[in-house]
């Protein structure tokens, strides 16, 4: 029975709800607010006008009072029909945020204190069958359980009282997020009627794929709880292929009488493997389990699984002695992980519509990404996230939810962590998208930077990252690899030789350091310039990035008109990264400083986009020594100036389109050499060799071709290598010119190289010839041409559902391009499109 829908909501001064009788069945709650379950208290209060929109202007502190109230939820529901003697009822709350006490018909059912694991109670004796029942929940004030420990804070808005609560850590404020800690029933609530026995766990995993014999071996472990079973239990497991062919098997459950288990082994002929979308088809099989006792079927369980193996290769890299690989191996094939870090898609995590997940994950796939990292300061995502990643063929690097702090290790907290880990591993382990379990975000690394010289060196929280989490993963999953932290590896936990790294050298101006030396933040234009990515010889770069403003349309929605200027108080409030001039330093190094708001938007976007292009191209050329780039960050949780490439409303920044091209399955990129020479590289992430005729041109921005050549090139499957080299002087650079490469066969997107930073280029923006044709109610064709070189050509429709076949690109003199603009939600007309260039 589904207890989701509209409940009643009211706040009380701490400790006054019970004396007022709010837990009693006959309490009058008719004046209370409506609140959706699952959902979020903030959203209900905004809808009722009790708090202003916290994202607008500087409204955020106007919601702070909520942290000091206790919050009550109530629901009246009709009890189910009479229970038989062999039946029981369980109340299952998948997500309570956070410290809750529950009453059913006035009787206390239990308490719960962890947002990240379900609360389940046997309520057989409390529910009134066929009659009205009342469920009441009281959430303690979030403040009441927050104890600020004695430890360093990373940055001003990193509030450490969060570490004592198993709750989304970013809600207490982050360097891209407001302080708006959530309260409420954030995941579904069910009343589960069970008869004689229940399925408590299903774990499906691929044991082996034999590609020569075209056969796979899949194991399915079924766990049950028998509370009134008529005789021994058995399970029938059916695995159905996408085309309908099914394999079926039955086994008896054995072992502990009340908690028997069985593992079934299914041989699948002609298996359709689950691949990431760029390497194949993410095939999904339907898995059905039926549990039976002597008297017949008692329970069923249905899910989707993929047949795939995933491993983390850390063998020594023979070509870079002293280093080890850090690369994912999918179905036996080493892959280059291309993607971004994922943060919660809204500050109010209980109220995120599934469409928002679909929009963001589709955008990730369209940007040629094959992996996202669910970052450890947010949430174990909603089911829809993992279901979509399964379907779209996107791998997921899953952090456990610990970030940027030291964590308590007392027994009560440790027991909570153990229970949470067990719940989440069991919940997510069947998803074929799952590629890695990771202990936390940055906890070992940050600790090592602060306490590097302490003799009694111990990272508080290691009990989890080194013991409890890996033990839980080994016991309950055992097939998806575990990694203790991000970054992790090497002597300083952020090493170029071993493990994954976060490159905050660029952007935060963090100078390279070795273990045993103090760290330094040097925020100067020279130091934050993205050219330093070229010094990064890391194995797998799981964070790197830089800020850009969102589009003007987004700023207009949250910044009052009189505050629409760079560094206005309201704009600075929407930038949580201290000091707030890092973006200015990056622009100083790259594009020059902006003169007005529109230029600020353009130049910050250009600096971010060029930086991502530069970094991704460098890291991809280093394949396989570097085997992954996840840039910080894909998305936002509110409208903000941040590292994201897709803003809160869904508008892509320039960086989104630059990354999409830089992540193309086959990439052609120029590498400037230290001696003044130049190389052309081809990076092939596909599993087949490629060959093409490429044209390279050196030309001035004004239109004079200085050199042109054509050549046949070949690159092996899954390989990156130089295919052309110009000695110093053969391709003479300068601020008035560019080099560009094109594919004759359409193998890769055209690419170009500037010989100077954008601010130093000697050129003037040409006029654009733009012709827009209506190609259907929801589609426009935009034909573009320029007499001289046009940089940063951008099309814009002030509607976030609009998609562009390409955007923020360059046009060579005389080149004609046709861009398709589509909006499935609303009709488009030519006058809705603005087109500009630099
Ligand atoms: C790392 C991340 C986040 C942070 C980002 C930008 O620290 O893991 O915690 O938001 O860099 O500073």
Q: In angstroms, what is the span from residue 386 Cα to ligand 1's centroid?
A: 23
What token pair was written down for 123?
């309520």
Q: Note whether 790 and 811 are within 8 A (CB).
A: yes
Mean pLDDT computed over 184-195: 97
**Is the CB of residue 174 below 6 angstroms from any atom belonging to ligand 1?**
yes
Q: What is the mean pLDDT of the chain?
A: 95
* Residues near 817 by beta carbon (within 8 Å), at least 6 away in sequence: 783, 784, 785, 806, 809, 811
Ligand 1 atom at minimum distance from 442 CA: 8
Between the alpha carbon of residue 731 and those of residues 193, 233, 531, 706, the distances in Å are 75, 76, 21, 9
Whole-number pLDDT of residue 523: 80
CA 72 from chain centre, in angstroms, equals 32
797-827: burial string, b at 16+ Cβ within 10 Å, e else:
beebebbbeebbbbbbbeeebebebbbeeee
Mean pLDDT (whole number) for 635-644: 98
174-183 pLDDT, tens digit each: 999 999 999 9
Contact 385, 353 (CB under 8 A): no
Name the CA dihedral angle for 279, 284, 285, 291, rounded to a multiple of 10 degrees.
Answer: 130
Q: Provide mean pLDDT across the span 313-324.
A: 97
> Does the pLDDT value for residue 666 go beyond 80?
yes
For residue 126 the two structure tokens come to 């409390």
Burial code of 767-788, b = ≥16 C-beta within 10 A, e = fewer?
eeebebeeeeebbbbbebbbeb
Tens-digit pLDDT profile for residues 385-415: 999 999 999 999 999 999 999 999 999 999 9
Confidence of residue 153 (pLDDT cuts 50, 70, 90): low
Would you say the CB of residue 176 lies under 6 angstroms from ligand 1? Answer: yes
Please work out, in degrees rounded to the nearest 5, the angle formed at the alpha carbon of residue 752 by the alpha carbons of 746 and 757.
160
CA 370 to centroid of ligand 1, rounded, Å: 21
C-alpha dihedral, 311 to 419 to 633 to 509, nearest 10°: -100
Write the residue with the smallest CA distance to atom 6 of ligand 1.
Answer: 175
CB 549 within 8 A of CB 599: no
**435 Cα to the center of ligand 1, angstroms:** 21
Nearest to 720 by CA among 667, 677, 763, 675: 667
Predicted local confidence at residue 517, as pLDDT: 57
Q: Is the CB of 800 under 6 A from ligand 1?
A: no
Cβ–ligand 1 distance for 501 under 6 Å, the answer no
Atom 8 in ligand 1: residue holding the nearest Cα: 441
Contact between residue 639 and residue 648 where contact means Cβ atoms under 8 Å apart: yes
Q: Measured on CA atoms in the order 480, 485, 491, 496, is the torsion positive or negative?
A: positive
Could you tell me the distance, in angstroms and rounded to a whole number, from the CA of residue 305 to the centre of ligand 1? Answer: 33
Per-residue confidence band for 513, with pLDDT thresholds at 50, 70 and 90: very low
Interval 589-638: pLDDT, tens:
999 999 999 999 999 999 999 999 999 999 999 999 999 999 999 999 99
Name beta bridge partners: 341. Answer: 373
Q: How confident is the model at residue 453 (pLDDT cuts 50, 70, 90)?
A: low
Q: Please say whether the beta carbons of 710 and 693 come within 8 A.
A: yes
Question: How far, in Å, is the centroid of ligand 1 from the Cα of 508?
Answer: 10
Q: Residue 789's pLDDT is what?
A: 98
Best substitution site from 163, 173, 175, 630 to test ligand 1's pocket, by max atoms within 8 Å of Cβ? Answer: 175
The model's confidence at residue 366, banded by pLDDT at 50, 70 and 90, is very high
Q: Listing from the earlier edge strand, what are the strands of the sheet with 395-399?
A: 482-483, 434-438, 395-399, 371-374, 337-342, 628-631, 541-543, 501-502
User: Among 248-257, 503-512, 746-755, which is the least confidently predicted range?
Assistant: 503-512
DSSP letter at 16 equals -
Distance 471 CA to ligand 1 centre (A): 27
Residue 814: the pLDDT is: 95
Please give the biggest Cα pair distance in the chain.
90
Residue 741 has pLDDT above 90, yes or no: yes
Distance from residue 170's CA to the centre of ligand 1 (Å): 11
pLDDT at 300: 98
Tell me, in angstroms, the distance from the centre of ligand 1 to residue 575's CA: 14
Query: For a pocket test of ligand 1, which of 373, 378, 405, 441 has the largest count of ligand atoms closer than 8 A to its C-beta?
Result: 441
pTM for the whole thing? 0.97
Does residue 175 have its Cβ closer than 6 Å to ligand 1? Answer: yes
Give catalytic residues, as residue numbers: 442
The reported pLDDT for the residue numbered 491 is 79
Average pLDDT over residues 690-702: 98
- Percent of the chain scored above 70 by pLDDT? 98
Q: Is residue 299 within 8 Å of residue 256, measured between CB atoms?
A: no
**Ligand 1 pocket residue status of 442, Cβ below 6 Å:** yes
Cis peptide before 717 (omega within 30 of 0): no
Instruction: Report CA(369)–ligand 1 centroid distance (Å).
Output: 20
| Phi, then psi, of 403 in degrees rounded to 5 | -150, 135
Q: Name the residue of 400, 632, 640 to mutate for ligand 1: max ligand atoms within 8 A of Cβ.
A: 632
Ligand 1 nearest atom to the CA of residue 154, by list position: 7
pLDDT category, 457, cuts 50, 70, 90? Answer: confident
Q: Choose among 289, 249, 290: nearest CA to 268.
A: 249
Cβ 415 vs Cβ 485: under 8 Å: no
Q: Does residue 581 register a pLDDT over 50? A: yes
Q: Which atom of ligand 1 is nearest to the CA of 175?
A: 10
For residue 594, how far is its CA from the centre of ligand 1 (angstroms)? 26
User: In the prediction, which pLDDT does 354 show?
Assistant: 97
Of 481-490, 512-521, 703-712, 735-744, least confident by mean pLDDT is: 512-521
Point out the ligand 1 atom lying closest to the alpha carbon of residue 441.
8
Residue owning the nearest CA to atom 12 of ligand 1 = 175
Long-range (24+ apart) CB contacts under 8 A made by 153-156 are 154/404, 154/405, 154/446, 155/577, 155/578, 156/578
Is the pLDDT reported for residue 226 higher than 70? yes
Distance 443 CA to ligand 1 centre (A): 11
Q: Does pLDDT of 44 surpass 80?
A: yes
Q: 404 CB under 6 A from ligand 1? A: yes
* Residue of 508, 498, 507 whose CA lies nearest to 539: 498
Could you tell me which residues come within 8 angstroms of residue 642 by beta carbon, excluding any fewer than 6 positions away? 176, 547, 575, 576, 577, 633, 636
Nearest residue by C-alpha to atom 10 in ligand 1: 175
Do the Cβ atoms of 331 and 273 come closer than 8 Å?
yes
Pick from 791, 734, 787: nearest CA to 760: 734
Q: What angle do CA 540, 545, 548 make, to 5 degrees?
A: 160
**Does residue 648 line the site of ligand 1, with CB under 6 A?**
no
Query: For 458-483, what is the mean pLDDT?
Result: 96
Is ligand 1 within 6 A of the CB of residue 488?
no
Of 649, 658, 43, 657, the closest CA to residue 360 belongs to 649
The pLDDT, as a whole number, for residue 154 is: 64
pLDDT beyond 80 at 261: yes
Residues 6 or more apart whose Cβ sits within 8 Å of residue 19: none
CA-closest candidate to residue 799, choices 359, 368, 349, 357: 359
Phi, psi for 663 (deg, rounded to 5): -95, 10
Q: Which residue has the higher pLDDT, 362 or 452?
A: 362
Q: Which atom of ligand 1 is nearest to the CA of 375?
A: 8
- pLDDT computed for residue 515 by the predictor: 46
Q: Is 390 exposed, middle or buried (0-12, 13-18, 19+ CB in 10 A)?
A: buried
Q: Which of 159, 404, 542, 643 to mutate to test the pocket of ligand 1 (most atoms within 8 A of CB)?
A: 404
Confidence of residue 455 (pLDDT cuts 50, 70, 90): low
Q: What percent of the chain has pLDDT over 90?
A: 91
Q: For ligand 1, say whether the CB of 632 is within 6 Å of any of its atoms.
A: yes
Does 441 contact ligand 1 (Cβ within 6 A)? yes
- Among 543, 547, 640, which residue has the most ligand 1 atoms within 8 Å of its CB, making it the best to mutate? 543
What is the chain's alpha carbon radius of gyration, rounded to the nearest angstrom?
28
Minimum CA distance residue for ligand 1 atom 9 = 404
Tell which residue, 802, 810, 788, 792, has the closest CA to residue 833.
802
Is the pLDDT at 311 greater than 60, yes or no?
Answer: yes
Least Cα distance to 749 among 740, 761, 738 occurs for 740
Closest ligand 1 atom, residue 486 Cα: 8
Q: What three-state secondary structure class fits 572?
A: helix
Q: Report yes or no: 83 and 140 within 8 Å, Cβ to Cβ.
A: no
Backbone angles phi, psi at 426, to 5 degrees: -65, -35
CA 621 to chain centre: 24
């Amino acid at each position: 029975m589904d207890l989701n829908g509209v409940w009643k909501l009211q706040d009380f001064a701490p400790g006054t709800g019970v004396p007022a009788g709010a837990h009693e069945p006959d309490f009058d709650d008719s004046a209370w607010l409506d609140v959706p379950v699952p959902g979020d208290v903030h959203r209900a209060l905004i809808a009722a006008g009790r708090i202003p929109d916290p994202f607008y202007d500087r409204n955020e502190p106007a919601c702070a009072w909520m942290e000091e109230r206790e919050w009550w939820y109530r629901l009246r529901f009709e009890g189910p029909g009479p229970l038989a003697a062999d039946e029981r009822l369980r109340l299952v709350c998948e997500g309570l945020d956070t410290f809750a006490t529950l009453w059913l018909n006035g009787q206390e059912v239990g308490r719960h204190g962890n947002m990240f694991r379900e609360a389940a109670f046997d309520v057989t004796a409390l529910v009134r069958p066929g009659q009205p029942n009342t469920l009441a929940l009281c959430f303690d004030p979030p403040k009441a359980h927050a104890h600020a420990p004695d430890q360093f804070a990373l940055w001003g808005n990193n509030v450490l009282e969060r570490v004592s609560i198993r709750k989304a850590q970013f809600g207490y404020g982050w360097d891209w997020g407001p302080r708006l800690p959530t309260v409420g029933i954030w995941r579904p609530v069910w009343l589960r009627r069970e008869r004689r026995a229940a399925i408590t766990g299903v774990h499906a995993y691929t044991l082996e794929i034999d590609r020569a014999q075209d056969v796979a071996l899949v194991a399915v472990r079924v766990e049950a709880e028998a509370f009134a079973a008529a005789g021994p239990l058995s399970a029938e497991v059916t695995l159905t292929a996408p085309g309908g062919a099914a394999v079926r098997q039955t086994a008896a459950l054995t072992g502990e009488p009340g908690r028997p288990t069985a593992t079934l082994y299914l041989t699948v002929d002609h298996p359709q493997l689950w691949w990431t979308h760029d390497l194949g088809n993410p095939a999904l099989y339907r898995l059905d389990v039926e549990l039976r006792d002597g008297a017949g079927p008692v329970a069923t369980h249905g899910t989707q699984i993929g047949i795939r193996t995933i491993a983390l290769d850390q063998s020594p890299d023979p070509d870079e002695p002293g280093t080890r690989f850090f690369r994912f191996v999918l179905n036996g094939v080493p892959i280059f992980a291309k993607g971004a870090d994922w943060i919660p898609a809204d500050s109010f995590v209980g109220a995120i519509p599934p469409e928002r997940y679909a929009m963001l994950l589709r955008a990730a796939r369209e940007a040629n990404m094959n992996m996202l990292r669910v970052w450890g300061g947010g949430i174990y995502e909603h089911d829809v996230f993992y279901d979509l990643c399964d379907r779209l063929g996107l791998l997921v690097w899953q952090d456990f939810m610990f970030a940027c702090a030291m964590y308590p290790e007392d027994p009560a907290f440790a027991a909570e962590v153990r229970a949470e880990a067990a719940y989440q591993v069991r919940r997510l382990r069947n998803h074929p998208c799952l590629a890695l379990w990771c202990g936390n975000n940055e906890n070992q690394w940050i600790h090592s930077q602060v306490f590097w010289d302490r003799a009694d060196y111990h990272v508080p929280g290691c009990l989890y990252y080194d013991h409890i989490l890996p033990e839980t993963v080994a016991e309950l999953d055992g097939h998806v690899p575990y990694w203790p932290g991000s970054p992790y590896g090497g002597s300083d936990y952020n090493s170029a030789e071993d493990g994954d790294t976060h490159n905050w050298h660029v952007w935060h101006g963090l100078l390279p350091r070795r273990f045993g030396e103090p760290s330094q933040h040097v925020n100067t234009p020279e130091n934050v310039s993205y050219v330093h990515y070229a010094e990064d010889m890391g194995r797998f770069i799981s964070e790197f990035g830089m800020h850009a403003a969102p589009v003007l349309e987004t700023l207009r929605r949250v910044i009052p008109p009189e505050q629409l200027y760079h560094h206005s108080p309201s704009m600075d409030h929407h930038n949580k990264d201290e000091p707030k001039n890092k973006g200015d330093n990056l622009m100083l190094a790259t594009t020059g400083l902006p003169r007005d708001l529109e230029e600020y938007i353009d130049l910050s976007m250009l600096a971010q986009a060029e930086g991502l292009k530069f970094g991704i191209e460098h890291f991809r050329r280093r394949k396989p020594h570097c085997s992954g780039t996840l840039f910080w960050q894909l998305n936002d949780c509110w409208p903000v100036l941040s590292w994201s490439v897709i803003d809160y409303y869904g508008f892509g920044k320039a960086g989104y389109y630059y990354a999409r091209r830089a992540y193309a399955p086959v990439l052609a990129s120029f590498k400037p050499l230290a001696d003044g020479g130049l190389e052309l590289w081809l990076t092939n992430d596909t599993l087949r060799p490629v060959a093409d005729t490429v044209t390279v041109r050196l030309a001035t921005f004004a239109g004079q071709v200085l050199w042109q050549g054509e050549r046949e090139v070949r690159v092996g499957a899954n390989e990156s290598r130089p295919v052309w080299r110009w000695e110093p002087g053969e391709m003479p650079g300068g601020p008035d010119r560019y080099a560009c490469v094109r594919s004759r066969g359409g193998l890769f997107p055209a690419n170009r190289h500037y010989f100077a930073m954008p601010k130093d280029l000697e050129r003037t923006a040409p006029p654009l010839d733009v012709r827009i044709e209506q190609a259907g109610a929801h589609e426009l064709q935009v034909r573009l041409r320029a007499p001289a070189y046009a940089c940063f050509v951008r099309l814009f429709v002030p509607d976030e559902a609009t998609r562009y076949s390409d955007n923020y690109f360059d046009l060579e003199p005389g080149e004609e391009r046709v861009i398709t603009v589509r909006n499935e939600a609303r009709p488009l007309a030519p006058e809705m499109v603005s087109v500009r260039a630099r």
